[in-house]
Structure 1
Amino acid sequence: MVDLDFAVEAAAVESYSAAPLLVFQLRVTNRTPALKVQNVMLNCQIRIEAPRRNYDLDERERLVELFGEPERWGQTLRSFLWTHASVSAPRFDEECRVDLPAPCSFDFNIAATKYFHGLKNGEAPLNFLFSGSIFYRDADGALQIDQISWTKEASYRLPASLWQSMMDQYYPQSAWLRLSRDMFEQLYRYKRQKGLMTFEHALQELLDARTTRPAS
């Protein structure tokens, strides 16, 4: 039986992707080098281990929507799923390195986006849970297949600045909001009726009107 270990060594922003993409560098180590690995079909669940760091007052305020009032974080601050990723590792004997691509979203309806946006500095604690299939040659040279042990995982602390620089690269001075179709049609109608150039102008006018409205 092949025994593999995994470590996340680094992370970088993919510059030439159509959508935000982080690439994690994995080191895969074969602890049974007598069995030659032909290929690994690797799947990974990436989780955010929110309790594994401290948060300053500003970050606590920015994360209220996600975890509730800070006074309750002893019950509400929990780890949660960020994303799934997969990659194929080539043939190796003792060790190899592969790039694991992790698609990212700037949709603020997604918990991970709210979390990363809420961090002003420091690092986001991540946990990588591995699964998948290992193809290898046994002592007689016959091709075999085995499953990666469900206990295989690796930790990594992602710099918050890396996430922020990625979103600045893909969406400079911008953010994404998803609206229901009915709400979009109302906003679009308001924009047309007012002769406004952009949706941002429409939203700004509505916010200004709310701010200047006299209290009843």
Structure 2
Amino acid sequence: MAELVFDCVDAVADRYAVVPGFALRLRITETSGERIDAIALRCQIRVEPHRRRYSAQEAERLHDLFGDTDRWADTLKPLQFTMLTAMVPGFTGSVTQELPVPCTYDLEIASTKYFNGLTDGVIPLLLLFSGTVFGTRDGRLNVQQVPWSKEASFGLPVSVWRETVDLHFPNRAWLSVHRETLDALQRFKSSNALTTWDSTLTALLDRIEERQA
């Protein structure tokens, strides 16, 4: 029976992707000496917020997600990030496999909100593997399942995620609003002869600050 060990060794932003994404580089090692013909690999990725420390600025940015810091022992729970599949070609010993990871900049999604709240350091990820291993034994096709216990931890640099997003949305952020809200913003924008949505929101914030002064 094949004995597989999974390690995540690196992550790089995909500069040529149509949509934002980065690539995780996996090292897959077969330790029993058996030849692997192919692996139909599945990988579930979770974020494990409890595995790192946070600055005061990060705690403030993550308040919407986890609440007050004195409650973080209860609220700092794992977040589902994504589920991926890949076809790993045949190998003996070990092989390096790139795993493309598409990203969204939708700040309504918990994982994106978490990533955006970090200023530096790493994003603690847990990669959970499953799938089907194909090989040959005694001249016959041999099929095995990747045990559900196979996993790997990886610290994704925050800088890689920010580079990934900035390649497509440099110095930009996306907000999702109801159509009625967008219509109201459009009326305010037009009536005040504002040229961009950024200037529209800035004008509204300035008015609020003036009223609070």
Secondary structure class of the residue paired with 1:91:
strand
In the TM superposition, 1:55-66 aligns within 5 A as 55-66=54-65
Mapped to 2, the partners of 1:142 and 1:186 lie a distance apart of 67
Q: Quote the residue 2:126 is aligned against.
A: 127
Q: For residues 104 and 97 of structure 2, what CA distance do their matches in structure 1 show?
A: 23
The question of 1:187 aligning with 2:185 is answered yes
What does residue 135 of structure 2 align with? 136
Q: Deviations over 1:106-150 (max 9, x none)?
A: 111111111111111211111100011111111x12112221100
Percentage identity across aligned positions?
39
| Contact kept in structure 2, 1:86 and 1:101, CA below 8 Å | no
The answer to whether residue 144 in structure 2 is matched with residue 146 in structure 1 is: yes
Q: Distance in 1 between matches of 2:129 and 2:178?
A: 36
Residue 94 of structure 2 corresponds to 95
Aligned to 1:18, what secondary structure does the other structure show?
Answer: coil
**Contact 1:127 1:154 (C-alpha < 8 Å) held by counterparts:** yes
Provide the TM-score with structure 1 as the length reference: 0.93
How much has 1:25 moved relative to structure 2?
0.5
Equivalent AA in structure 2 for residue 190 of structure 1: F
Q: How does 1:14-53 map to 2 (within 5 A)?
A: 14-34=14-34, 36-53=35-52
CA distance in 1, matches of 2:40, 2:182: 42
**Equivalents in 1 of 2:91, 2:64: separation in Å?**
46
- Partners of 1:184 and 1:133 in 2: how far apart? 47
Number of residue-to-residue matches in the alignment: 213
5+ long unaligned stretches in structure 1: none
Quote the residue 1:12 is aligned against.
12
Aligned position for 2:108: 109
Q: State the distance in 2 between where 1:86 and 1:73 align.
A: 33
Give the TM-score normalised by the residue count of structure 2: 0.94
Structure 2 gaps, min length 5: none
Deviation at 1:2, TM superposition (A): 2.2
Provide the rounded CA distance (Å) in 2 between the counterparts of 1:180 and 1:214: 26
Q: 2: distance between equivalents of 1:39 and 1:182?
A: 52
Question: Following TM superposition, by how much is the alpha carbon of 1:191 offset from its aligned partner in structure 2, in angstroms?
Answer: 2.1
- Closer, same or farther in 2 for the Cα pair 1:205/1:94, shift >3 Å? same
Q: Distance in 2 between matches of 1:189 and 1:58?
A: 35
Deviation of residue 165 (structure 1)? 2.3
**Alignment-mate amino acid for residue 191 of structure 2:** Q
Between the aligned partners of 2:4 and 2:47, the Cα distance in structure 1 is 23
Question: Residue 187 of structure 1 aligns to a residue in which SS?
Answer: helix
Shift in Å, 1:90: 0.3
Coordinate RMSD, CA, aligned: 1.5
